[in-house]
Amino acid sequence: MTFQGTLPVVLTLSKNAILKPIWIPLDLRFGVTNEFEVFVSHTYPGASPAMGGGLCLGGTSRGCEKAYNNAMLGGQYSILKASGLELAGLLALDMRRFTGPMHMGVDVGVAAKYVAGPVSVKLVPQVSIGLNKRSEGNKENLVVPLQIAVQAAQPIAVFLDTGIGGEFSHFSDRYAVPVGIGASYLAMHGLDAGLEFYLPMALAPSAIPSELKGFNNRALMLFASWRSQ
């Protein structure tokens, strides 16, 4: 069995909300076999960890509804590995919020990754289906995250996170295109450290309030990731 743990610390830097709040969306992954992986995640479906989630520091006065109010339990099964291309099926139980009230969903998707020399491209289209409280807005979302990474030097990689996502209903009025730019450094065998500057709604339609999009909504993520192999 293999193990990978990622500890991100997300610092909110939005306009009029500096460090309101600070998030720790811990991610734990266990490789049961060469093809099957199970995970516990605290990010939102299809989003960079820089979006937040998981442990929220600062209390209600600094933007935390609860100290801990979401988690995702899931698995990923590899169905193809050939010529630099890997495809995997993804299924997860998404506890979008534990209380206030509880919202639950199930996420179904495909993870595709292609590696050619120093460049890798990862695309993970997912559909997130609300299981309860649907009359309160806990419905379907479509997310299509895209990451492009380049091994700039032997220990350093740079990457771009983007894509598109939003609610199925009124998608054209509620979609968001995030943009994140980051870098990771191989500190030692199995241990990476890095950072990412992230705009959750770099592009969004006019129906989204201006304070929630563009450069007004921003975050900085610092992270460390350790893997057993």
The per-residue pLDDT for 166 is 92
Q: Residue ranges of the alpha helices (H) in 98-207?
A: 171-174
In this prediction, residues 54-62 reach a mean pLDDT of: 93
In this prediction, residues 95-100 reach a mean pLDDT of: 90
How does pLDDT run across 202-221, given as a tens digit for each residue?
999 999 999 999 999 999 99
- In the chain, what are the domain boundaries? 2-227
Cα–Cα dist 84/134, whole Å: 41
Among residues 203, 141, 205, the alpha carbon closest in space to that of 173 is found at: 205
- The rounded mean pLDDT for the chain is 94
Which pLDDT band, with edges at 50, 70 and 90, does 27 fall under?
very high
Question: Ramachandran region of residue 206, left (φ > 0), alpha (ψ -120 to 50) or beta?
Answer: alpha
Are 205 and 167 in contact by the 8 Å Cβ rule? The answer is no
Neighbours of 139 (CB within 10 A): 15
Which pLDDT band, with edges at 50, 70 and 90, does 169 fall under?
confident
The per-residue pLDDT for 120 is 97
The per-residue pLDDT for 112 is 96
2-227 folds as Porin (2.40.160)
Percent of the chain exceeding pLDDT 70 equals: 100
Among residues 104, 107, 99, the alpha carbon closest in space to that of 131 is found at: 104
How does pLDDT run across 120-164, given as a tens digit for each residue?
999 999 999 999 999 888 999 999 999 999 998 889 999 999 999
**73 half-sphere exposure, CB direction, 13 A CA radius:** 3
Cα–Cα dist 218/229, whole Å: 33
Neighbours of 50 (CB within 10 A): 27
The per-residue pLDDT for 218 is 96
Q: Is the dihedral of CA 135, 91, 73, 49 positive or negative?
A: negative
The per-residue pLDDT for 78 is 96
Predicted TM-score (pTM) of this structure: 0.92
- Specify which of 60-64, 95-99, 186-190, 196-200 reaches the highest per-range mean pLDDT: 196-200
Among residues 44, 40, 207, the alpha carbon closest in space to that of 128 is found at: 44
- Cα angle at 56 between 55 and 57, to 5 degrees? 120
Place of tokens 């990457």: 159
The per-residue pLDDT for 100 is 84
The per-residue pLDDT for 44 is 76
CB contact set of 122 (below 8 Å; sequence gap of 6+):
111, 112, 113, 114, 145, 146, 147, 148, 149
